[in-house]
A and B are shown apart, each in its own frame.
Chain A
Amino acid sequence: MLELRLVQGSLLKKVLEAVKDLVNDANFDCSATGFSLQAMDSSHVALVALLLRSEGFEHYRCDRNISMGMNLGNMAKMLKCAGNDDIITLKADDGSDVVTFMFESPTQDKIADFEMKLMDIDSEHLGIPEAEYHAIVRMPSSEFARICKDLSSIGDTVVISVTKEGVKFSTRGDIGTANIVCRQNTTVDKPEEATVIEMNEPVSLTFALRYFNSFTKATPLSNTVTLSLSSELPVVVEYKIAEMGYIRFYLAPKIED
Chain B
Amino acid sequence: GSSQTSITEFYRST
Smallest CB–CB gap between B4 and chain A, Å?
5
Residues of B within 8 A of A47 (CB): 7, 11
**Quick one: which of A40, A255, A257 contacts B7, CB cutoff 8 A?**
A40
Q: 11 additional contacts, CB 8 Å, given A233-B10, A252-B4?
A: A40-B8, A44-B7, A45-B5, A127-B11, A128-B11, A252-B6, A253-B5, A255-B2, A255-B5, A257-B1, A257-B3
Query: B-side interface residues toward A, CB under 8 Å?
Result: 1-14
Asked whether A45 lies within 8 Å of B4 as measured between CB atoms, the reply is yes
Asked whether B1 lies within 8 Å of A252 as measured between CB atoms, the reply is no
Residues of A within 8 A of B13 (CB): 124-127
* A 156-200 contacts with B by CB, 8 A: 157
Residue A137 CB within 8 A of the other chain: no
Contacts between the two chains (Cβ within 8 Å), count: 58
B-contact bits for A215-257, CB 8 A (1 contact / 0 none): 0000000000000000001100000000000000011111111
26 contacting pairs across A/B (C-beta < 8 A)? A40-B7, A40-B8, A44-B6, A44-B7, A45-B7, A46-B7, A47-B7, A47-B11, A124-B13, A125-B13, A126-B11, A126-B12, A126-B13, A127-B13, A128-B11, A233-B10, A234-B7, A251-B7, A252-B5, A252-B6, A253-B5, A254-B2, A254-B4, A256-B1, A256-B2, A257-B1
Asked whether A252 lies within 8 Å of B3 as measured between CB atoms, the reply is no
Asked whether B7 lies within 8 Å of A125 as measured between CB atoms, the reply is no
Asked whether B2 lies within 8 Å of A126 as measured between CB atoms, the reply is no
Residues of B within 8 A of A45 (CB): 4-7
Query: A-side interface residues toward B, CB under 8 Å?
Result: 40, 43-47, 124-129, 157, 206, 208, 233-234, 250-257
Residues of A within 8 A of B8 (CB): 40, 44, 124, 126
Asked whether A252 lies within 8 Å of B9 as measured between CB atoms, the reply is yes
Smallest CB–CB gap between B8 and chain A, Å?
5
* CA of A120 to CA of B2, assembled, Å: 36
Smallest CB–CB gap between B1 and chain A, Å?
5
Closest chain A residue to B9, Cβ basis: A252
Closest chain A residue to B14, Cβ basis: A127
Closest chain A residue to B5, Cβ basis: A252
* CA of A154 to CA of B10, assembled, Å: 29
Asked whether B6 lies within 8 Å of A255 as measured between CB atoms, the reply is no
Smallest CB–CB gap between B7 and chain A, Å?
5
